[in-house]
Amino acid sequence: MRGWLDRRSCAADRGSAVVLTLVLLTTLTSGSVIWMTRELSSTVAARTLAMEVAHQSARVGAQQLDEDALRARGEVAVDARAAEAAVLDELEAARASLGDGDAFTLTLVGFSIEGARVTTEVEVRGAGAPVTVTGRAWALEEGNRWVDE
């Protein structure tokens, strides 16, 4: 009578479970590493794009000085209308430069002016989670220059 614990029936399978476990473990680990690398790469690319666009649009906005205030009072201030138009133009130029093959979309989620300081917040949505980055720039006392924060 042969039972399920009979040693002779399992003799040919000795070690096959270990091999199967090692193969499955290696396959799952490799797949996880590839997936994490792809996700991390997409997130880093989205954050980099958001930072570039936010900082550049803030710089362009801060360069729109109010010439009347500068000439009349020597006060460095940003022309709000010109700054807003310049920021929106810069955002449109960034969108146009992405092309059809890119999986990212750009959205201006925040814009403010305080004196000579322009702050923009840009959200980038892509394959991964949305990334929101704030860019800040301001005009210095020496004239039409910008500085990043």
Between residues 143 and 53, the one the model is more confident about: 53
Extract the tokens encoding 126: 């892509």
CA atoms within 13 A on the CB side of 66: 18
Hey, CA dihedral for 78, 82, 86, 88, is it positive or negative? positive
Q: How do the domains of the chain map onto residue ranges?
A: 46-148
Distance CA 146, CA 117 (A): 9
Look-up: residue for tokens 């906005």?
Answer: 61
Collapse the DSSP code of 106 into the 3-class scheme (helix H, G, I; strand E, B; otherwise coil) and give the result.
strand
Residues 6+ apart with CB under 8 A from 80: 113
The pLDDT assigned to 58 comes to 85
* Size (the chain), residues: 149
| Tens-place pLDDT, residues 62-90 | 888 888 877 888 777 788 899 999 999 99
| Tens-place pLDDT, residues 129-147 | 666 666 665 544 444 554 5
Sheet strand arrangement including 131-140: 105-114, 117-125, 131-140, 143-148
- Residue 75 burial class via C-beta count within 10 angstroms: exposed 0-12, middle 13-18, buried 19 and up: middle
In the predicted structure, residue 115 carries a pLDDT above the cut 60: yes
In whole numbers, what is the pLDDT of the chain averaged over residues?
76
